[in-house]
Structure 1
Amino acid sequence: MLPASISVARAPHHPHQLTMYTTVQKALDNLDEHLAKVIESVSSYNPSRATVAALVQADDELQATLAELEEHQQNYHRTIELQQTSDALDDKLTDLLTILAETRQHLIDTPSTKFPTPPKEVEYNQLLQFARNISKYSKPPNPLSFEKWAREQVLPPPPPPQSEGEAKPEEPVKTKLPLGINEEDLLHMDNSGALPYAPWPHEFMMKTGALAALGKDGIPVDMIPKEDKPQEEDKGDQARKDSTSNGGMDDAEKARRSSYQQQQHAAPKPAAPKNFSLDLWPGDDDDE
């Protein structure tokens, strides 16, 4: 008997189905032929064992053909399912490509962003070369130019009225400077105009700077541990005693101060420089 899930009556539509249909039909015809022979031998009261054996063999061939037909139909249904899955994936891929094309068109239509120009980097060699060129035309600050400008801007005061027959001694005219100050106040506040200009501090100023507050080992006094302070205080007391016995200054300090005072009295007041150069490479007079 044929399985319930197998149907061979309908006409095939696929070439593979046509081949399978022909195979099953051939097995059925072979079974009918051998079955008719067995019935004829039985009806004539002349049964034949060979005819019965051929009928059994034809039935086995039909069962094998039906099993192959069932497997073929299962594979066919599986192929249909895979085809449907492939069609669904094709539709999804088509949608993705459509979205990608639309997105690309949006990106093309979007105006591009214009970023500002980055700052130009200057190499240090170029900066040094520029400093070398401008150093020949640079001048230090000169307080004498301020005094000259003040004299030109401020007019001398009018002479006081005098009565007939009386002569009053002439008083020195005091030049008025801006902010209500005079020359004496200016010299009292700032006497740097009488000193030569130098782009570095003097040795005396360096000796009286913040380094003087450091101890022997370069450590400030307020940072010395407590256990080391008595020794430092003893050394300080001894130094003060020695300084008092020598008139408040040691021999080296006296010699330095005496030399400095002699230089100040002996050296004439230098005139204000008319032009000052800060060449980084002396000896090179060619402007670049």
Structure 2
Amino acid sequence: MLHLRLIVPSDRTEEVVRLLERTVGTTHVAVLAGAARSPAGDLVLCDVAREAGDELIGALRKKGIDDCGSITAENIDLTLSKHADEAERAAPGEGADAVLWEELSEVTHEESTFSATYVAFLAVATMLAACGVMLDNAILIVGAMAVGPEFGPLAGISTALVQRAPRLVARSLWALIGGFAAAMVLTAGFSWLMDLFGLFDAEMVTADRPNTGFIWHPDWMSFVVALLAGIAGTLSLTSAKSGALIGVAISVTTVPAAANAAVAFSYQDFQQTWGSSAQLLANLGGIVVAGTLTLLLQRVLWAAQRRRAPAGRPGPSAG
């Protein structure tokens, strides 16, 4: 279930409470009159089944509660209540299938910010991958994949395309393109420095690399894996199962491909540079396509579940 904490102007509290009471899947409604100070108003609390949460939050936003007050939602790990059990049974659909679009937009917006921390993580991951490809060490490659933060902007692009939010598309593209460009430039400089200390050399680039040679040899399987990873990553975000993102991160060759392209370019091996760049683009494109299609399918299936749901108490749309 979700716990909602609302700050509502006192003259609109009754209106909001009536909305909560009409919403299928809502329970534990409480009002603390005059408890809020900034902004001033009443504090309204309630619990709502996850499958009814998106509709309720949308109805509250339509009433402008986010402008005149605030709407805060958080996941509840444990609720021992007969009323909560009844609310979840009454709400149509399954909580695991519900997509909280407001939450998804907020998460992807935050993860798609071009910041110093984001660039630092991506650059460090790319440098780790550079060490992995030069040493033909698969363990370092896997570690670099897990460190890379690039799935955030990719999910941001998919979410923005489905919700038709051009600003989020531009923001995510800037984080993705700018982040990888900065990381690759820094990795090329890192490669030059390692060569200066005698830790890297040109022979390491051209040598047979049975464990990491696939990085600059893209094929259709690379795109298929990216599609599957995009589906899994999107499902993990929409179902709040963030642990699955680790598996997604180590499934696709994005950071290692960027690293191999940067290192190969620094040694003027342009064949590997182009091959690695093609691998990078194939993986990024596959994830975006799969993520977008997954979100569209989830939206369609959820709408179908809502239409098939038996009639109960009137929901927010009745208001």
Greater share of helix residues, 1 or 2? 2
Q: Please report the TM-score for the alignment, with normalisation by the length of structure 2.
A: 0.15
Q: If you compute each CA radius of gyration, which structure gives the higher value, 1 or 2?
A: 1
Greater share of strand residues, 1 or 2? 2
Q: Please report the TM-score for the alignment, with normalisation by the length of structure 1.
A: 0.16
